[in-house]
Structure 1
Amino acid sequence: MQLKKLTIKNFRNFENCTINLTNKNLVFGMNDVGKSNLLYAIRMLFDTRIRNRPVDTTDFHKQNTDDNIEISCFLDISEENEYSDILIAKAENANTDFTELFEIKLTCSYNDGNSITYLYWGTESEDLLEVPSLGIRSQLDNIFHCTFIPSQNNTSNSFKDFKKELLSSHNYLENDSDIRRDIENANKAINENVAKLSSVKSMETSINQQLSLFDKGYEVQISPSNAFGDLHNNLDLYMRDNLDIEGELIYPTSGDGRIRKVMYAIISYLLKEGKNAEGKIPILLIEEPENHLFLSAQVELSKTIFSEDFNPYLFLTTHSPHLFFRISDNANLIRLYKKKNNLCAMSEMTCVPQQYNDYKNILLESLAQCLFVDKVLLVEGESEKLLFEWVLDSLGKNRQNVIIQSILGVNFTNYVKILNGLGIEVLVKTDNDIKKNRVSENNSTQTFSAIGYNRCISLISIKDKKDYVTQESLALEYNLFREHIIIKKANEINYMKGKGVFLSKIDLENDLAEALNFQTIDKKEFIDWLQGKKWHHMWYLITLNEDELPSRIYEELVAKANIAQTIYDNEDFFCLKELVGDD
């Protein structure tokens, strides 16, 4: 069974929204864009405790009670697996056409101060049938088990509920029978001794004396009631500090951070061992788990929930990029954001091509930094990032809701595809790289390929959602070929700039040398020095480090009025003005 899409209409800040889904979904966005409302909508559909709560006028979008609230989840049950089998077997009267999506729909109307909620299900294109009611529950509640973990409120109460569920979830094995018998005999002996205590006998005698005044036909006997009918009823959770040398320091679980980690471990166990055994489909909703977790614990949680062994259908809301660090292929990123005061939702699958497996962690970790802003400038290396951030900060430019991200040499395509698909504006600054082609036996003419230009064309193809022709190889001398690209493709390069893709004339170092316009030193001398140790030398440059900069370069830089403004105003660095919104 695969989750395919969710539609929400007329509910809170969702006027009419469709979100593509997969089985593991990360929901992110700034504050007050509806992340909690999205989780609540899912709970209304799958959690009977939420579904049976009264709906108020404020739950309707802009309090429009003339229209119904509608929440639908669409499932693909064509693939044969245990969860598809559970749904098909228990859906009873519903149509289950394997060639179409299966829809589960909630509607809520409001009349005369009262709300009325109905559940429907069936094949998407057919008339839906009402889900059979089982009192305050429905047949849907016999199919799905919805677990919600709040962000920080009521952590202790939630933990108590999960702990109780864990400790009551068990099956006795045959080899436990002798141990259980020994426990029962020992418990019986303890109870007999407790009953012999003088304090117990004194209470028993006094009560029976008073009772005889009313009725001499019977008397009471006081005995312990702690018989182990179910041994697990007397269990509790304690935690041992593994750093304790003796290993004897044991204390009850306490503290939100510790409780939350243990709670995730319990839930993982219950969803794998407990709920599956009951024949229910597990749906797990986690709200901002980064609260009370250190960064390393957030990364470990990400690793756990995106592992192949973690089976529940997942919705997780977060503000933390660290929850994306171990995200699996085919997980779904759902970005909620506001545009012109209207709520927008974009979802995008994170599919990392096989050839980039070696760079997967680099890709996802740097990608995660870009998900919480409105505009991103992607650059090839750390030197560009260092220089560009220094220029903007030196000029006091507002970098709120924008980010400059180095992709560390990893292909731009994946970043642009995912970020563009999530509605995040993406700018790219890349080098005009030239590749010398291999000379074949049949043709000894040396040719070159414009891989930098071709890279830009491929990115524009993603942005425009159409294919463009890349540059053919030409038999031109190396530098002439690059000049040919800049001159002959000027119209295309200008068009790409308008789309946020900026191609250097050569590379960062050459662009910077042109912008600084050295008078007393040769441009090549400066470029060779800067390319020697790119990041280190760029740092010496922007900090005007007299001890590390070559003396002639230092003297000319000091003499310049405003280096940052010079770079910012140069046409080769127009991407910076575009990033911060300067005309």
Structure 2
Amino acid sequence: MYVSQLEILNYRNFKNFTVQLKPVTQIIGENNIGKSNLLDSLGLIFSQEVSFFKRRMLDISDFNYETILELKKAILDTSIEPKNISYPKIVIKATLKDWDLKQEAVITDWMSNSDFTEATLTYTFAPISSFDKIEEITLQRQFLQDYEKEIGPEEFKKIPQSEILILINFPISKYHYRIHGGNQNESLANAYHLNQLKFELLDALRDAKSELSASRNNGLLFRVLNANEETDYQDLKKRLVGLQRAIEQNVAISGIKNRISEQLDKISLSTETSNNVVDLIFSLPNVSDLLRKLSLIYNDNPIKIERNGTGRNNLLFISLILSFIEDPERAQSTFFRIVGLEEPEAHLHANLQNHLASNLEGLIKKEDGTYRKDIQLILTSHSNHITTKIDFDNTVVLHYKNGNVQAHYILDGFGTTAEEKRQVNYLKKYLDSENVNLFYSRRLALVEGISEKLLFPLFYKIQTGETIDQSATAVVNVNGLAFKNFLQIIVNGFHTKCLVLTDSDIGTQSENRAQELKNKYDGVNEIDIQISQLSTFEKDLINCNKSGSGKTILCKVIPIVRPNAGKKYVEELGTNDIDIEEYFALIEDYKSEFALQLSLSLTEDQSGFSIPKYIEDGIKFLDPLM
């Protein structure tokens, strides 16, 4: 069994969001896109932990900000009748499918389709049934009217709307949560059946040191150890037999007892029923007391957890929880468990990240290669090493489109034709730890080679005043002419803006290629194809800087790239303009070195340097505010 679809309404940054999930799903995307919020939303339904029970009573900050703003603006607008204003509710709906016979006994009451192949659980946080919204809205409007009278209409008009909206109360105390199964909202999910479903979250801010010691009841190690029956540890108690006798015979303890008795004789009186003799008794500990004394050690030369590096403890922490959930024969019955693993790369170097990622998927697979039905793994990551090791079929990207968060599987939209299969194979090969950055950005620039990749970020900053990182722009070198493979991802539904910078190749056998590419994607609003005026990027660059300050910069660079020929060329050039073909001939076999030296020179001083027009137009497409 697994959660096949998750729908989220008005929860944090999700206003109206739907994502398909798989037995193993990797979720990636830029910071603050909602990866942690997605995992938390699952916890509101499936977690049995005390911390999540408390979280189910949400705060105002858990509501989507725009939703609250829309409500307050509606209340402020007195032309809208109170009966036409609705207070928002948070709804999180999880669809389950592909269960076995044992799991079917748990989810039978939650069936939600006519052929009984799907079941749903829905968390709702909404006003209680006795809440009178008309009365509440009337009170809020009256409060504002009274305040306007108090300070006067003129002063009231001076208050910004944003501050007035803050004055409007949101009745969070009138809200309550419920979890129901199936499509009948009034049918509450049975608590006993809900308890058979679990959610384990290894969050990004996990405290590995404290979790790896059993001294705390809610610590991970204690929960793992305590999951077994007490009879499994009964043989440990046999080791304690005779300890009371040993305590009585210990000289040091006997001395302490005698000294206490002596002091009691001085300050207390013996009676017929009592005397001042004291003793020490050993209380046989119960199983939980024994378990709290345990903690993990690691390696051939074991040391305390507190002395381990954070990376090693992180691996121990992940291994501990995975070993717990991986054992399907454990005594504590759980019919289904979701494991949310946030940023497994924390504190790990690249080789360990690669090794961990290569084995994650196998943790919940059976020997025949099929997925186990009792575990679903959902992980989030910012690591390019981990991202590229998980199958792209299981990788979903969260991204903004038209102001809302949307989900897109990397390989969504690719069919089964020979051409599409070739494109998928290409992407799996070339979406490496560098190029996968395109999925963490809001804008994308595809370039033909290393020269454009080195120089485009500088051109972007010269033109916009921002770095490509500040504007969340990724630059991907497609190594020649593989634009279509990357552009198909955009066509299939990912990203908002993608710029392509390509050479015109005028005078060559492929001179029609660039225009054909432009024609093919002219109808796609998210894609802009910009073609060099001359045959190559470098020639356009030389052409717009053949005189003036631009010439000075190019003449400074060429002797570094070609110490002999370049120096001779500059000396012979004198005050004449740079000849495009002659200069290009000097750098044609040294393009990457030329781009590197030019980028270093422009980093120091770019005054008077001109950017080719087709690149300027492309940057304007990416940043329309320019």
TM > 0.5 fold call: yes
**Structure 1 residue 363: deviation in Å?**
0.7
Q: For residues 430-483 of structure 1, what are the alpha-carbon distances to aligned partners after superposition, in whole Å with 9 as ceiling and x for unaligned?
A: 3457xxxxxxxxxxxxxxxxxxxxxxxxxxxxxxxxxxxxxxxxxxxx947655
TM alignment of 1:388-467, pairs within 5 A? 388-394=456-462, 397-398=465-466, 399=468, 400=470, 401-408=472-479, 411-418=482-489, 421-431=493-503
User: Corresponding residue for 1:332?
Assistant: 395
Partner SS for 2:205: coil
Q: 1:575 is matched with which residue?
A: 618
- 1:270, distance to aligned residue in structure 2 (A): 1.3
SS at match of 2:317: helix
Structure with the higher fraction of residues in strand conformation = 1
Query: Which residue does the alignment assign to 1:147?
Result: 200
| 2:452 corresponding residue in structure 1 | 384
Q: How far did residue 46 of structure 1 move?
A: 1.0
Contact 1:327/1:364 (CA < 8 Å) preserved in 2? Answer: no
SS where residue 387 of structure 1 aligns?
helix
1:166 and 2:224 correspond: yes
Sort the Cα spacing of 1:403 and 1:272 in 2 relative to 1 into closer, same or farther, 3 A. Answer: same
Given the superposition, is the C-alpha separation of residues 426 and 22 from structure 1 closer, same or farther in structure 2, using an over 3 Å criterion?
farther
Q: CA deviation at 1:390?
A: 3.3
2:97 corresponds to which of 64, 73, 76: 76
Q: CA deviation at 1:577?
A: 3.8
Report if aligned partners of 2:395, 2:410 keep a CA contact under 8 Å in 1: yes
Amino acid at match of 2:225: L
Higher relative contact order (CA 8 A, sep 6+): 2
Aligned partners of 2:24 and 2:394 also within 8 Å: yes
Structure 2 gaps, min length 5: 72-85, 132-172, 214-218, 366-371, 415-419, 548-575
1:294-333 Cα offsets, whole Å, 9 max, x none, are 5555555444434464774233445554542322232232
TM-superposed CA distance for 1:405, in Å, is 1.8
Q: Return closer, same or farther for 1:74/1:412 CA change in 2, 3 Å cut-off.
A: farther
CA deviation string 1:34-85 (max 9, x = no partner): 44433322211112432454334554444568343221012332xxxxx544
Please tell me the residue identity of whatever aligns with 1:148: L
Q: Which residue of 2 aligns with 1:239?
A: 297
For the aligned residue pairs, the C-alpha RMSD in angstroms reads 4.7
Confirm or deny that 1:284 pairs with 2:339: yes
Q: Is 1:121 the equivalent of 2:181?
A: yes
Q: Give the deviation of 1:385 after TM superposition.
A: 0.4
Q: Partner of 1:532: helix, strand, or coil?
A: coil
From 248, 260, 264, the equivalent of 1:195 is 248
* Letter in structure 2 aligned against 1:347: H
Tell which deviates more after alignment, 299-308 or 529-538.
299-308
State the 1:266 CA deviation: 0.8
Q: Could you tell me whether the CA contact under 8 Å between 1:121 and 1:128 is conserved in 2?
A: yes
Cα distance change of structure 1 residues 91 and 384 upon mapping to structure 2, 3 Å threshold: same
**Aligned CA distance change for structure 1 residues 512 and 106 (closer, same or farther; 3 Å):** same
Letter in 1 for 2:441: V
CA 496–106 in structure 1, closer or farther in 2 if over 3 Å, else same: closer
Structure 1 window deviating more from structure 2 (386-395 vs 219-228): it is: 219-228
- C-alpha separation in 1, matches of 2:237 and 2:520: 85
- Aligned AA for 1:281? F
The amino acid of 1:374's aligned partner reads R
Whether the aligned pair in 1 keeps the contact of 2:257 and 2:280 (CA below 8 Å) is: yes
Shift of 1:157: 4.8
Give the Cα–Cα distance (whole angstroms) in 2 for the partners of residues 233 and 211 of structure 1: 42
Is the partner of 1:93 in helix, strand or coil?
helix
Q: Secondary structure at 1:365's aligned position in 2?
A: coil
Distance 1:372 1:493 in 2: 23
User: Larger deviation: 359-368 or 380-389?
Assistant: 359-368
1:134-184 CA distance string (max 9 Å, x none): 4xxx41221x210122332655554552111233456999xx99xx97x77
Alignment of 1:247-396 (within 5 A): 247=301, 252=306, 256-273=310-327, 278-289=333-344, 292-294=347-349, 297-307=352-362, 309=364, 312-337=375-400, 339=402, 342-350=403-411, 355=422, 360=428, 362-394=430-462
The gaps in structure 1 that reach 5 residues or longer are 78-82, 434-477, 546-557
CA change 1:150–1:214 in 2 (3 A) is farther
1:508 is displaced (CA, Å) by 3.4
Deviations 1:491-532, CA, capped at 9 Å, x for gaps? 778768994123456443454455556977775554454342
CA positional deviation for 1:344: 2.5
If the length of structure 1 is used for normalisation, what is the TM-score?
0.69
1:343 to partner: Cα distance:
3.7
CA contact (8 A) 2:2 2:22 kept: yes
In 1, Cα distance between the equivalents of 2:391 and 2:514?
A: 40
Q: Distance in 2 between matches of 1:580 and 1:3?
A: 39
8 Å Cα contact 1:12/1:60 also seen in 2: yes
The aligned amino acid for 2:537 is L
Write the distance in 2 (CA, Å) between the matches of 1:344 and 1:375. 15
Q: Partner residue of 1:54?
A: 57
- Superposition deviation, residue 282 in structure 1: 1.8
Larger displacement relative to structure 2 (223-232 or 417-426): 223-232
Q: Is the 2:541–2:612 contact (alpha carbons within 8 Å) kept by the matching residues of 1?
A: no
Secondary structure of 2:126 counterpart? strand
CA distance in 2, matches of 1:41, 1:497: 33
Equivalent residues of 1:104, 1:121 under 8 A apart = yes
Residue 534 of structure 1 is matched in structure 2 by 591
93-102 or 395-404, which deviates more: 93-102
Q: Report if the CA contact (8 A) 2:448-2:501 is conserved.
A: yes
Q: Percent identity?
A: 19
* Correspondence list, 1:534-573, <5 A: 534-543=591-600, 562=608, 564-565=609-610, 568-571=611-614
The worse-fitting range, judged by mean Cα deviation, of 262-271 and 295-304 is 295-304
1:475-554 superposed matches below 5 A: 479=507, 482=510, 499-504=527-532, 506-512=535-541, 515=544, 523-543=580-600
Following TM superposition, by how much is the alpha carbon of 1:346 offset from its aligned partner in structure 2, in angstroms?
2.8
Number of aligned residue pairs: give it.
499
What is the distance in 1 between the residues matched to 2:290 and 2:28?
Answer: 40
Q: Which amino acid aligns with 2:388?
A: F
Q: Match of 1:38, as an amino acid?
A: L
Q: Deviations over 1:403-441 (max 9, x none)?
A: 2221345844453344563334222223457xxxxxxxx
Contact 1:379 1:385 in 2 (8 A): yes
Q: Which amino acid aligns with 2:460?
A: L
Instruction: Work out the CA distance in 2 between the residues paired with 1:263 and 1:385.
Output: 40
